[in-house]
Every structure is written in C-alpha cells, then in structure tokens.
Amino acid sequence: MSENKKWFQIKERAAGQKRLMFMFYVYKIFGKKAVNFLTFWVALVTFLSSKSLREYSKTNLSVIFDYCKKNNQSSPAPDFINSFKNVFNYSLTLVDNMEIFSGDYDVNKILFNSENDKNIFYEDIKARKGIFFICSHNGNINVLRMFFKNKDPLKRSDVNVMLSKQQCKVFNSFLKKVYEKGKVKMHNTVSFFPVEEIDIDTSIELKQKLDNGEIAFMAGDRLSSGSANITFTSKFFGKDVEFPVGTFKMAQLMETPVYFIGALKTKNDSYTIYLEKFSAAQSKKESLIKMEKEYVKFIEKLTIIDPLQFYHFYGLFSRIID
C-alpha cells in the first residue's frame, strides 16, 4: 500500500512555465484544435508514466461506480480508458483556460442549469449583496471568473478568490501571463488570497469587501496545509472523507448569501453552471453543520452528473494501491 497523501502533499503536475507558454503560443498561432492535439499526447505520456495518477483516478471512479450501482444509477466503469479520459479531461481545462483568459471564449456558451436558481442569484447581485461561493474541483471553476467579468449585472462585482499559493505557483503564474497577453477588458478586479495565509485580518478585509457588494470564491473540498487537522468527516459516496471546516466557518463569518457552485463542461465547449443557495438554520452551530452536509451532497450530485470531470488525483479515498 502506498502512503495515502493529502492533495497538498502531492507535487503539482502542471508542466513547467516554459512548456505552458509554448502551448499558449501554439494556441495563438495555430488555434485550439492544434493545442488539443498536443494536449492529448502530453496527457497520454503523463498518464502512462505515472502509476499513482492512474491508481488515484481508478480509485475515485471505483468508489463512484460502486455507489451508483447500489443506488441504481449509471456511472463510467473504473477501467483504463475511463481513467485516461478523466486525466485527459483535466488536461483540456488548461486549453479552455487559455481561451478564457486570453479573452477568446464566448461567454454566451456558459449557461445556467436552472433558470430559477439563476433568477434568485441575479436578484442578490442586483441588490448589491456580497456573495460567498463555495466551489469544488469538479469541471472548471475558472470559466466563472470570465463569466463574471462580462455579463450584466455581474461585471459590476469585484471578485475575490482564495486559492493555494503553495501548490499552484506555476499554473497561476501562467494564467496571469496569459491574461496580460490577452484582449480581456477589465470590468472589475480580481484579488487573490493564499489559503495558507488566511488569518483574522484576512477575514476582516474580506468581510468589508463583501459588505460592499463584492463576491468571493473558496473551495470546500480540499484541505490546506495550514489547517490539515481542522476538518469534519462526512459520508461521501458511502466513504468517510475529510473536508475543511475553515471554508464553511469563513462563509458563515461573512454574513452574506452563500451559494454552492460548479461549472461542468458539456458539448461544443459549452459549460453549465450549477447553483444552490444555502438557507441558514436558527443557530450558528446548526447552520454550520447544515452547510457542511448540504455542500457534500451538492458536490456528490455534481460528481454523479459527470464522474470524468471529478479532479482529485490524490488519496481522497483510502484505497490507493501501490
């Protein structure tokens, strides 16, 4: 058995800065199809050369498949081909991000799954309410950054993103360069907060921002290196899985509307946004527990829609075999 590592203990698998920029220039010169072709071969080589990557994907797909089978639901078989599709889909999000952050992506291809959820959300935005989004590593949450920059009334809201400084240095630096070289017009600003450095001052600053009608994104499905032991355990696809308490406490501290959110890729490079507004309980303790449970159920439903867009290539479940 290999060590069941947390995600922040896994070395970032993104290519080096020079290789990423090379892919970007190929995209700018030859277009998206050319980059997709290169990405297929890069993903294949990476997949074949990394036993742990194959096993992490297979383990996740196995857990999801077994759970769905017991509940009379369909799910891709945890075989070699589907494990590769899982990894390849993740690689394609990089290509989509090139298109998104360079300003070439058509935001009209991003649609809401539910008009009712969309209308509730838009009413909160129009009322200039700050909104705290709890996202996950399903699909590609980056499409929402661009969506919020170009769609009325969303483009009036500045965006705050909490992400890992430690794990994503190469990838986030690359996105910044793509953004600078692109043709995106700034309708709002994006501020980044490293999750490893969040403290009381960060909470105060963020609350002031949300009180002024800004929005914030924070993932609720991964532990950070600074709070690896501050967790709650919940049944996720029938298995006991740890989730970070900090995300939900932060959301509660903001005293603004809280939404669970995800964006899954569909046909023709389109994306579908899934939203669920959280309704608080009477006490703060009850609300926190309720928020945690409902979020886990939300990402479980999101994962069942497309398990091959479930991107957790580490020991989320403890069945990894060496």
Q: What is the mean pLDDT of residues 27-47?
A: 92
Residue 8 pLDDT class (50, 70, 90 cuts) = very low
Indicate whether 220 belongs to any domain. yes
Residue 149: inside a domain, yes or no? Answer: yes
* pLDDT confidence of residue 38: 92
- For the chain, the domain total comes to 1
DSSP codes joined into one string, 111-136 = EES-HHHHHHHHHHHHTT--EEEEE-
- The H or E element spanning position 249 is helix 245-254
pTM of structure: 0.87
The pLDDT-based confidence of 15 (bands split at 50, 70, 90) is low
CATH of the domain at 262: 3.40.1130
Confidence at residue 78, expressed as pLDDT on a 0 to 100 scale: 95
321: in domain: no
Tokens coding 259:
């939404």
316 inside domain? no
State how far the Cα of 314 lies from the Cα of 59, in Å rounded to an integer. Answer: 10
| Residue 7: per-residue pLDDT | 42
Report if residue 24 sits inside a domain.
yes
Render pLDDT for 102-125 as a digit per residue (tens, 0 to 9): 778 888 899 999 999 999 988 888
Instruction: Report how far residue 261's alpha carbon sits from residue 141's, in angstroms, rounded to the nearest whole number.
Output: 8
Each residue of 53-69: pLDDT tens digit? Answer: 999 999 999 999 999 99
Q: Is residue 31 part of a domain?
A: yes
How far is it, in rounded angstroms, from Cα 235 to Cα 110? 31
Contact status, residue 201 vs residue 253, Cβ threshold 8 Å: no
Q: pLDDT: is 86 or 123 the higher one?
A: 86
Average pLDDT over residues 65-92: 95
Q: Within the chain, how many helices (H) and strands (E) appear?
A: 10, 9
Structure tokens at 37: 């072709």
Tell me the C-alpha distance between 248 and 211, whole Å.
18
pLDDT over threshold 60, residue 11: no
Domain that holds residue 61: 7-309
Query: CA–CA separation, 53 vs 61, rounded Å?
Result: 12
d(CA 310, CA 321): 19
Q: Convert the pLDDT of each residue in 22-31 to its tens digit.
A: 888 888 899 9
317 in a structural domain: no
- Is residue 90 in some structural domain? yes
Indicate whether 309 pLDDT > 80. yes
